[in-house]
């Protein structure tokens, strides 16, 4: 059977790479500019990775042709939580143009892009119109869908993402269909660590002001809470709210829960679990918790990616 070669851009911890690897794709090369994310990726995906800005990739040293190009490109310019300045964002908005450059240079047969759902509606739909027009202009037939990891990945984390798949082959395009919904059978409790260090627990000594507020409201051990702007919010569906890169910026951005030992925040390992990384995930020593939280929040639901990758492979091997 043919070994399909993949190029993974903005690869982060390797969620997309692992999803494709799970169904037999060959991750030939990856790229990300975050040093700690590339360390995680290299350890767990065991594929070559270039730690550099996508703008600085030297295509003369890169394999000329790939079968699949993947990219979970920066979502901040289109996110509801950001400024929503889209392609005008001088730091991240240009990244889609770099993806187009990579597509032209490496000539993939399939593209796989991931972003936030608000890309569809940003600027009255104009931004997504640009994305689709540019990709179709390069000869791709486009399918796209918003999928929540609750419904499609058996993960108890609310995480809606837009997935864009493009095929050069019209036959593969016609054969492809997105995965259907599956039942959520796991609770967030299934993904918690058995032994959690004391540093993750809130105490009156460490956080006197915050502790006096959260102790009044965080009482249900069967759900997850958030503390933001002085308010405690309980998730009524007993699900984890969307994990974000803001978890790595300090403050109280990491979701909270209460167990037999007290009130604590999710550990970095638990955040990766809630993103669908399995027990084999290796977290190298020396990476700060703040960086791990950021990497986990920036990642993708691996189980959803795996199901989509399986459908892509079926359309190519039909």
CATH label of the domain that carries residue 15? 3.40.50.150
Same domain, residue pair 42 and 157:
yes
Same domain, residue pair 67 and 208:
no
Same domain, residue pair 33 and 160:
yes
pLDDT, tens digit, 9 for 90 and up, residues 294-308: 999 999 999 999 999
Q: Which domain does 263 fall in, by range?
A: 188-295
Same domain, residue pair 15 and 100:
yes
Cβ proximity of 142 and 103 under 8 Å: no
Q: What is the pLDDT of residue 228?
A: 87
Sheet holding 68-71, edge to edge: 49-51, 26-32, 5-9, 68-71, 110-115, 160-167, 141-148
User: Which residues have a Cβ under 8 Å from the Cβ of 90 and sit 6 or more positions away?
Assistant: none
Same domain, residue pair 15 and 133:
yes
Same domain, residue pair 62 and 194:
no
Measured between alpha carbons, how far is 150 from 258 in angstroms, rounded to an integer?
A: 22
Q: What is the pLDDT of residue 63?
A: 67
Would you say residue 44 has pLDDT above 60? yes
Say if strands 160-167 and 110-115 run parallel, antiparallel, or are unpaired.
antiparallel
Same domain, residue pair 137 and 98:
yes
Same domain, residue pair 173 and 38:
yes
Would you say residue 91 has pLDDT above 80? no
Same domain, residue pair 232 and 210:
yes
pLDDT, tens digit, 9 for 90 and up, residues 151-183: 999 999 999 999 999 999 999 999 999 999 999
Same domain, residue pair 40 and 157:
yes
pLDDT, tens digit, 9 for 90 and up, residues 96-120: 999 999 999 999 999 999 999 999 9
Same domain, residue pair 312 and 272:
no
Q: What is the CATH number of the domain that holds 202?
A: 3.90.120.10
What's the domain count of the chain? 2
Measured between alpha carbons, how far is 145 from 297 in angstroms, rounded to an integer?
A: 21
pTM confidence score: 0.92
The residue-averaged pLDDT of 290-296 equals: 96
Which residues are known to be catalytic? 75
Same domain, residue pair 163 and 268:
no
- The CB density around residue 197, as the number of other CB atoms within 10 Å, is 9
């Amino acid at each position: 059977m043919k070994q399909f070669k993949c190029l993974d851009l903005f690869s982060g911890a390797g969620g997309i790479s692992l999803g494709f690897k799970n169904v037999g794709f060959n991750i030939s090369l990856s790229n990300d500019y975050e040093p700690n994310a590339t360390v995680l990726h290299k350890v767990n995906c065991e594929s070559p990775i270039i730690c550099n800005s996508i703008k600085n990739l030297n295509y003369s040293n890169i394999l000329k042709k790939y079968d699949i190009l993947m990219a979970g490109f920066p979502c901040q310019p289109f996110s509801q939580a950001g400024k929503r300045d889209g392609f005008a964002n001088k730091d991240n908005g240009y990244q889609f143009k770099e993806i187009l450059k990579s597509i032209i240079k490496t000539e993939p047969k399939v593209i796989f892009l991931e972003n936030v759902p608000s890309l569809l509606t940003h600027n009255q739909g104009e931004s997504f119109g640009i994305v689709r027009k540019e990709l179709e202009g390069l000869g791709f037939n486009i399918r796209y869908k918003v999928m929540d990891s609750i419904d499609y990945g058996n993960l108890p984390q609310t995480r809606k993402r837009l997935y864009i798949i493009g095929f050069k082959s019209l036959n593969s395009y016609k054969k492809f269909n997105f995965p259907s919904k599956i039942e959520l059978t796991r609770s967030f409790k299934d993904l918690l660590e058995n032994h959690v260090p004391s540093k993750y627990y809130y105490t009156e000594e460490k956080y006197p002001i915050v502790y006096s507020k959260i102790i009044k409201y965080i009482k249900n051990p069967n759900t997850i809470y958030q503390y933001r702007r002085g308010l405690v919010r309980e998730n009524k569906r007993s699900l984890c709210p969307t994990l974000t890169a803001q978890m790595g910026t300090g403050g109280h951005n990491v979701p909270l829960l209460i167990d037999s030992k007290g009130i604590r925040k999710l550990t970095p390992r638990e955040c990766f679990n809630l993103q669908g990384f399995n027990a084999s995930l290796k977290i190298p020593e020396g990476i700060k918790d703040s960086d791990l939280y950021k990497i986990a929040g920036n990642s993708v639901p691996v189980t959803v990616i795996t199901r989509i990758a399986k459908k892509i492979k079926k359309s190519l091997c039909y």
